[in-house]
């Protein structure tokens, strides 16, 4: 039996009928549809619509439906997940099953199911991200005081600690976790009791239904509640940020595992070979991670655009928002898992990073800073050191290899302390501000990151 056939004298066009069904994809919402229905039937009983026996019968049947799970064979007569549960209830509980839809609408049900689904996925993705971030923190810890070059414009800029570089990614992904937590706060209100558009016609206890489903409160307006998908859009946008950050990370690692950079040893477990060139080991995992970002952004955009221009309240267009949500979360979750495996396995070529951290005039700013300490105005110091760099470029040497006489020629009084200021350790140490790469500051940052992470893991799992 359809959920709405009474006023129709004609059956729907067969092709249209199949085409408009959402059960092929909204069946994943079955667990949420069941718990939402359980909250609703409890409220129905309180309102006197179901007696004690009837309540027990439908609750028992709903539990049975949850246990059975999503049916493996597709029944083409089922319109959507709500229809499925109603039909199954009638089979399992008899006629009383048809009482369950009293005082409710599929419009509030789908809004509730999706909120419950997204909320669970937020928790799951947050957990996956915590594991991923923890892999960065462990690598940062293992890197100790090892140094590497850092780049602006992809040109060598200044040396940093390897740990400082890794902690930059920790910041990005911690922000993503924060964004998800923020989205969860706004999402966590319960549409049940909103009816089709104007609010339910029965005195249902909305506060009790919200509490049963661990929502903070009932939604404030029935028209908004039945048509709002902001929570899903926000979620998809938050996941787009994750994908954005993953793609930046993947790109940098692709570069750093080239022979030209040679900082990252590409793990075989996350690479493939070439069918033509026997020597090849390709960073496919990283490339696919970079590539997936485009698809994820596109689906998040589809969701956003899908809601554009919809008048209040429910419109069937909203059914089209479901698949992008499912797809984005599936892609992002699986990508984080692969990325975590990569980050846990990857090894760095510390010796080469350390060696590269010292060349290429990356101590030039520190040299200028030393002159500034002697009272030379920075612009003048910049000019003088720039001149010394030019001399080095002509000679094919580094700043620390110029003699005192060479410096005198450039207008610089170079003493022992000046040469000391050019050493890698000193260059690193002068970046002694919060958020800077001086080793003591990086150790502090590492500690802070571990503390933030431990909130997600609890004491037992906090990384040591
Ligand atoms: N399958 C529908 C959806 O996903 C459920 C809501 C249907 N509501 C309606 N008034 N036709 O949006």
Span 116-121, average pLDDT:
98
Q: Give the pLDDT band (50/70/90) at residue 462.
A: very low
Check if 239 has its Cβ closer than 6 Å to any atom of ligand 1: no
Among the three residues 102, 137, 160, which one is the final residue of a domain in this structure?
Answer: 102
Q: How many angstroms separate the CA atoms of 77 and 6, rounded?
A: 17
Helix (H, G, I), strand (E, B) or coil at 35: helix
264-265 and 347-348 beta bridge pairing? antiparallel
Q: How many angstroms separate the CA atoms of 142 and 120, rounded?
A: 33
Q: How many residues comprise the chain?
A: 464
Q: Which residue has the tokens 């959507």?
A: 80
Q: Are 449 and 435 in contact (CB under 8 A)?
A: no
Domain at 370, CATH number: 1.10.40.30
Among the three residues 297, 321, 354, which one is the final residue of a domain in this structure?
Answer: 354
Residue 100 CA to ligand 1 centre (angstroms): 17
Whether residue 299 is found in the same domain as residue 391: no
Whether residue 95 is found in the same domain as residue 129: no
Q: Give the pLDDT band (50/70/90) at residue 450.
A: very high
What six digits make up the tokens of 401? 């290899």
Span 413-431, average pLDDT:
97
Whether residue 264 is found in the same domain as residue 380: no
Span 296-321, average pLDDT:
97
What is the pLDDT of the chain when averaged over all its residues?
A: 96
Atom 11 in ligand 1: which residue has the minimum CA distance?
316
Q: Give the pLDDT band (50/70/90) at residue 72.
A: confident
What is the per-residue pLDDT across 125-137, written as a single tens digit (0 to 9) for each? 999 999 999 999 9
Is the Cα torsion angle 21, 23, 28, 30 positive or negative in sign?
A: positive
Check if 314 has its Cβ closer than 6 Å to any atom of ligand 1: yes
Q: Give the pLDDT band (50/70/90) at residue 204.
A: very high
Residue 106 CA to ligand 1 centre (angstroms): 6
Span 86-114, average pLDDT:
97
Q: Which atom of ligand 1 is nearest to the CA of 22?
A: 1
Whether residue 57 is found in the same domain as residue 183: no
pLDDT at position 398 over 90: yes
Active site members: 153, 274
Whether residue 73 is found in the same domain as residue 129: no
Domain at 153, CATH number: 1.20.200.10
Whether residue 263 is found in the same domain as residue 327: yes
Whether residue 63 is found in the same domain as residue 138: no
- Our count of domains for the chain comes to 3
Q: What is the pLDDT of residue 3?
A: 80
Q: How many angstroms separate the CA atoms of 263 and 347, rounded?
A: 9
Q: Give the pLDDT band (50/70/90) at residue 274.
A: confident
Span 6-11, average pLDDT:
90
Domain at 49, CATH number: 1.10.275.10
Q: Which atom of ligand 1 is nearest to the CA of 318?
A: 12
Check if 107 has its Cβ closer than 6 Å to any atom of ligand 1: yes
Residue 325 CA to ligand 1 centre (angstroms): 16
Q: What is the pLDDT of residue 177?
A: 98
What is the per-residue pLDDT across 324-380, written as a single tens digit (0 to 9) for each? 999 999 999 999 999 999 999 999 999 999 999 999 999 999 999 999 999 999 999
Is the Cα torsion angle 168, 170, 173, 179 positive or negative in sign?
A: negative
Nearest to 360, CA basis, from 415, 310, 427, 412: 427
Q: What is the pLDDT of residue 459?
A: 45
Whether residue 121 is found in the same domain as residue 57: no
Check if 226 has its Cβ closer than 6 Å to any atom of ligand 1: no
Whether residue 90 is found in the same domain as residue 178: no
Instruction: Output the pTM of the full model.
Output: 0.95
Q: How many angstroms separate the CA atoms of 120 and 126, rounded?
A: 10
Domain that holds residue 77: 5-102
Check if 110 has its Cβ closer than 6 Å to any atom of ligand 1: yes
Q: How many angstroms separate the CA atoms of 371 and 435, rounded?
A: 24
Residue 79 CA to ligand 1 centre (angstroms): 9
Q: What is the pLDDT of residue 461?
A: 47
What is the per-residue pLDDT across 171-184, written as a single tens digit (0 to 9) for each? 999 999 999 999 99
Nearest to 236, CA basis, from 113, 317, 121, 81: 121
What is the per-residue pLDDT across 298-308, written as a single tens digit (0 to 9) for each? 999 999 999 99
């Amino acid at each position: 039996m359809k959920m709405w056939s009474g006023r129709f004298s004609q059956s729907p066009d067969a092709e249209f009928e199949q085409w408009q069904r959402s059960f092929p994809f909204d069946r994943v919402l079955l667990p949420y549809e069941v718990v939402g229905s359980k909250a609703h039937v409890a409220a129905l009983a309180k309102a006197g619509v179901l007696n004690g026996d009837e309540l027990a019968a439908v609750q028992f049947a709903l539990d049975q439906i949850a246990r059975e799970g999503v049916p493996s064979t597709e029944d083409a007569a089922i319109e959507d997940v709500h229809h499925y549960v109603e039909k199954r209830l009638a089979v399992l509980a008899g006629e009383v099953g048809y009482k369950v839809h009293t005082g409710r609408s599929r419009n509030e049900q789908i809004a509730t199911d999706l909120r419950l689904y997204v909320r669970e996925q937020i928790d799951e993705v947050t957990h996956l991200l915590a594991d991923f971030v923890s892999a960065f923190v462990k690598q940062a810890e293992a890197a100790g005081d090892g140094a590497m070059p850092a780049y602006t414009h992809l040109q060598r800029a200044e040396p940093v600690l390897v740990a400082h570089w890794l902690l930059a990614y920790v910041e990005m992904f911690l922000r993503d976790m924060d964004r998800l937590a923020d989205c969860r706060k706004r999402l966590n209100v319960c549409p049940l009791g909103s009816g089709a558009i104007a609010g339910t016609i029965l005195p249902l206890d909305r506060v009790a239904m919200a509490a049963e489903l661990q929502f903070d409160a009932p939604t404030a307006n029935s028209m908004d509640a039945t048509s709002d998908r902001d929570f899903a859009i926000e979620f998809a946008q938050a996941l787009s940020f994750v994908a954005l950050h993953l793609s930046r990370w993947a790109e940098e690692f692709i570069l750093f595992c080239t022979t030209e950079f040679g900082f990252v040893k590409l793990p075989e477990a996350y690479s493939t070979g070439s069918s033509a060139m026997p020597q090849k080991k390709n960073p496919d995992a990283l490339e696919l991670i970079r590539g997936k970002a485009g698809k994820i952004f596109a689906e998040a955009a589809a969701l956003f655009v899908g809601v554009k221009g919809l008048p209040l309240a429910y419109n069937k267009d909203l059914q089209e928002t479901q698949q992008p949500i499912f797809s984005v979360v599936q892609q992002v979750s699986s990508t984080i898992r692969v990325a975590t495996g990569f980050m846990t396995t990857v090894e760095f070529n510390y010796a080469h990073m350390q060696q590269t951290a010292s060349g290429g005039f990356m101590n030039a700013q520190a040299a200028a800073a030393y002159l500034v300490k002697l009272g030379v105005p920075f612009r003048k110091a910049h000019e003088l050191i720039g001149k010394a760099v030019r001399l080095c470029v002509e000679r094919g040497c580094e700043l620390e290899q110029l003699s005192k006489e060479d410096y005198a020629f450039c207008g610089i009084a170079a003493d022992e302390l000046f040469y000391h200021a050019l050493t890698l350790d000193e260059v690193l140490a002068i970046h002694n501000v919060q958020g800077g790469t001086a080793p003591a500051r990086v150790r502090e940052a590492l500690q802070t990151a571990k503390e933030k992470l431990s909130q997600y893991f609890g004491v037992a799992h906090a990384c040591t």
